Amino acid sequence: MNILFVCSGNISRSYLAEMLVKNEIEKLKEDRISVASAGLYAYPGSPPDRKMIEYLSKKGITAKNHQARQITKQDADWADLILVMEKEHRNVLKELWPGIGDKVKRLGRFISEDQKTDDIIDPFGRSPYHYRLAQSQITLAIKNLLKSIISSKTES
């Protein structure tokens, strides 16, 4: 399964989601999942948000080299599942490439078991509260996403 995380700039939310999933699939030795991230409005080559690097470091995850990149049609075609952070991201992707609609979902739907979909707000340049909120939402959503994927793969 190929998973693509998409946010606005590919330096905070989608970067964090990608790093968390990569860490988990390495720990689980799960070779059936590939992951990448991109931004709708990214400045290619931009480094990741240092507050997200600090968060990863506190979790014992070494931040890999990362440079922001703009999403391409090839990325969208590669992905089996495209997880966006906001409803607006989904709308933009569906406008760009109408044929990908079914595989675009908001990551926020994995935050709670009732699958009530929430946007994960962009913390970049905002208060520590906004960072903690986004980090906790993304961490919880990733945990539930992987649980869902791995349990469905063992059932098949």
Which residues are part of the catalytic machinery?
Answer: 7, 13, 122
| Interatomic CA distance for residues 51 and 128, integer angstroms | 9
| Interatomic CA distance for residues 95 and 90, integer angstroms | 9
Helix, coil or strand: residue 58: helix
Residue that the structure tokens 């290619």 belong to:
44
* Amino acid at position 36, single letter: A
3-class DSSP string for 93-135 = HHHHCHHHHHHEEEHHHHCCCCCCCCCCCCCCCCCHHHHHHHH
